[in-house]
Amino acid sequence: MLGNFDSLREISRNARGWSVGSLAFPRARSWRPSAVSSETTGNIDSRAQPRPQCLEHNRDGNDKKITRGVYAQELEVAARAVQLGCMLAQRVQERILRKEENAGSKDDKSLVTVADWGVQAVVSWVLSQAFGEEVSIIAEEDTKGLKGMNGIQTLQRVVAVVNECLSQASVVGLTPPSRKLGTIEVLRAINKGNSEVRSSRSWVLDPVDGTLGFVRGDQYAIALGMIEDGRVVLGVLGCPNYPMRPQWLNYHQKYYRLASKIAPPPPGKWHKGCVLTSAKGAGQAWMEPLVWNSDGSFLLNPPRVVAVSPVDDPAQATFCEPVEKANSSHSFTEGVADSLGLRKRPLRVYSMAKYAAIARGDAEIFMKFARAGYKEKIWDHAAGVLIVEEAGGVVTDAGGRPLDFSKGRYLEGLDRGIIVSCGTGLHRRIISAVDASWNSSKL
């Protein structure tokens, strides 16, 4: 196993592929031409863009590799880890909807499920295999809820789903562990998410962002970022239920599921689910569609470039916000929307799928104004901010300052709220509108 990130430069390449730590990546894994056909990608996006130049074709034409700057290897590992997390979470969500699994609550009364712990264990395991046991991971979950009489049964289900998922790691091009992980190993993997923040490099993980949406069968996200010297340098955002047709974002997933029962999507074609990726300085963001199989696994599709919307006229803009007004004041954003001249009704979506909507150009604005005293956590924003910025968007607090990821687990010093938009012109207008409405608001 490689001991540290510097060792990544020593990544070994051989005839079969390459490896990072003890993870082997087969040479022609997910970007074989067979997985690239329009049959499997479906009607991905009417705004689909030409293949990015960063997708290099090898001379034999049978193998494609992605080079995404200095963080290419980290991004590759992170994307695979999040894809595995998507598989795990989606299976648990199905079980919750079939009432075979349920959610519990944490000390702060927020929801937690087998998927929150399971995804954290899987992502942490993959990162440790790739970058060594001393990798620093700052993640949302701890193992308190897995202790005691009540916790032990949940823990058994977490261990089972983690092993179920890791046994299928080859779906994402990773080598499954040689034997099942034991309870102690799973607990250790989850606990690794409580590392101290490092000044050099720390991974930041929200294993299931938007847990409320998750248990309600709706949108949620798996968000993994990497912070280096206080700046987010890499982001991967898995959105397993993100619809191929963005207009479906307006509806709860239960309608989508109903429609899918009446007219099932053709097998092997993309209809929902994607993983967005980018790295600092790439100047681009990518989306990998997930083509779900009936057994809860998926086919990987080649990444394609996504970009923010070119719209800068507020009258044409769509703005998104959290579903729960406890998480962001709907009445305040209504006032801002009014004074900005936004005409469309707000798009209320659970989780960081809102960042995905901005990066993909499906919406132009995302605003979040939490109640006074609430401290935003870095894992709820890191991956989304990086992806939106690299896709051409802007993210600041309401004072127009970049979010500060250098102060530990929280976004310290945040001025009022978070504003995400597709461009600087629109962004300036939003900030002015927020200023104009602020003093008369009760926030």
Ligand X SMILES: Nc1ncnc2c1ncn2[C@@H]1O[C@H](COP(=O)(O)OS(=O)(=O)O)[C@@H](OP(=O)(O)O)[C@H]1O
Q: CB of residue 370 vs ligand X: minimum separation in angstroms?
A: 4
Q: Specify whether 116 is catalytic.
A: yes
Contact 379, 408 (CB under 8 A): no
Which residues are registered as beta bridge partners of 221?
Answer: 209
Residue 322, binding choice from Mg ion, ligand X, none, Cβ under 5 to 8 Å by partner class: ligand X
Handedness of CA 298, 303, 305, 308 (dihedral sign): positive
- Classified as helix, coil or strand, 182 is coil
Binding of ligand X by 84 (CB under 6 A): no
Q: CB of residue 340 vs ligand X: minimum separation in angstroms?
A: 20
The active-site residue out of 40, 41, 116, 218 is 116
Q: For residue 95, give the H/E element and its range.
A: helix 72-97
One of 45, 76, 141, 209 touching ligand X (CB under 6 A): 209
Closer residue to ligand X, CB minimum distance, 19 or 120: 120
Closer residue to ligand X, CB minimum distance, 171 or 349: 349
Residue 323, binding choice from ligand X, Mg ion, none, Cβ under 5 to 8 Å by partner class: ligand X
DSSP assignment of 46-90 equals TT--PPPTTEEEPTTSS-EEE--GGGHHHHHHHHHHHHHHHHHHH
DSSP assignment of 317-385 equals --EEE-S-TTTS-HHHHHHHHHHHT--SPPEE--TTHHHHHHHHTS-SEEEE-PPTT---BGGGTHHHH
Please report, as residue ranges, which positions from 304 to 333 form the binding site for ligand X (by CB under 6 A): 322-324, 326-327
Binding of Mg ion by 206 (CB under 5 A): yes
Say how many residues touch Mg ion, by CB under 5 A. Answer: 3
Query: Interface with ligand X by CB under 6 A: which range of 163-171, 203-211, 333-341, 395-403?
Result: 203-211
Compute the distance between CA of residue 113 and CA of residue 150 in angstroms, rounded to an integer: 13
Q: Specify whether 67 is catalytic.
A: no
Residue 101, binding choice from ligand X, Mg ion, none, Cβ under 5 to 8 Å by partner class: none
Residue nearest to ligand X (CB): 324
One of 211, 301, 318, 329 touching ligand X (CB under 6 A): 211
Does 206 belong to an annotated binding site?
yes
Burial of residue 435 (CB within 10 Å: 0-12, 13-18, 19+) is middle
Compute the distance between CA of residue 416 and CA of residue 399 in angstroms, rounded to an integer: 8
Record the tokens describing residue 151, joined without a space: 């916790």
Does 334 belong to an annotated binding site?
no
Say how many residues touch ligand X, by CB under 6 A. Answer: 20
Could you tell me which of 43, 115, 121 has the C-alpha nearest to residue 81? 121
Does 39 belong to an annotated binding site?
no
Q: Give helix then strand counts, H and E, for the chain.
A: 11, 20
Please report, as residue ranges, which positions from 342 to 381 form the binding site for ligand X (by CB under 6 A): 350-351, 370-371, 374, 377, 380
Q: CB of residue 108 vs ligand X: minimum separation in angstroms?
A: 8
Closer residue to ligand X, CB minimum distance, 72 or 347: 347
Could you tell me which of 414, 417, 413, 442 has the C-alpha nearest to residue 430? 417
Closer residue to ligand X, CB minimum distance, 270 or 355: 355
Residue ranges for the known binding site are 140, 206, 209, 380
Residues that bind Mg ion (CB under 5 A): 206, 209, 380
Residue ranges for the known binding site for Mg(2+) are 140, 206, 209, 380
Give catalytic residues, as residue numbers: 116, 211
